[in-house]
């Protein structure tokens, strides 16, 4: 199943900040995959759900997530 996120969600990935545009669910045996557009180099990448962090949300007093150790594409 593919779900289009409209509007896109601002997330943190191991490759940096991104907009998540799609979610792909392959079933119960595989982690969900997020299709993200990376801000700094405009790459479109697939990111495992275990590697996604949501940004801050002042309404719910959620602080910005700790950045990942940065990886190169």
Provide the pLDDT for residue 68: 62
* Confidence (pLDDT) at 72: 61
Domain residue extents for the chain: 2-54
Give the Cα separation of 4 and 35 in Å (integer): 10
The confidence score (pLDDT) of residue 38 equals 94
pLDDT in tens, the chain (73 residues): 999 999 998 898 989 889 999 999 999 888 999 999 999 999 999 999 999 987 666 676 766 666 666 666 5
Structure tokens at 33: 């995959």
Question: Residue 34 burial (CB < 10 Å; 0-12/13-18/19+)?
Answer: buried
Q: How far apart are CA 20 and CA 7, in angstroms?
A: 9
Residue 48: predicted pLDDT: 94
Distance CA 66, CA 53 (A): 9
pTM metric for this prediction: 0.76
């Amino acid at each position: 199943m593919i779900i289009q996120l409209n509007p896109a969600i601002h997330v943190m990935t191991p490759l940096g900040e991104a907009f998540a545009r799609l979610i792909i669910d392959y079933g119960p045996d595989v982690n969900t995959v997020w299709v993200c557009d990376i801000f700094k180099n405009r790459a479109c990448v697939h990111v495992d759900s275990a590697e996604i962090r949501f940004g801050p949300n002042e309404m719910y007093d959620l602080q910005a997530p700790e950045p990942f150790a940065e990886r190169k594409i």
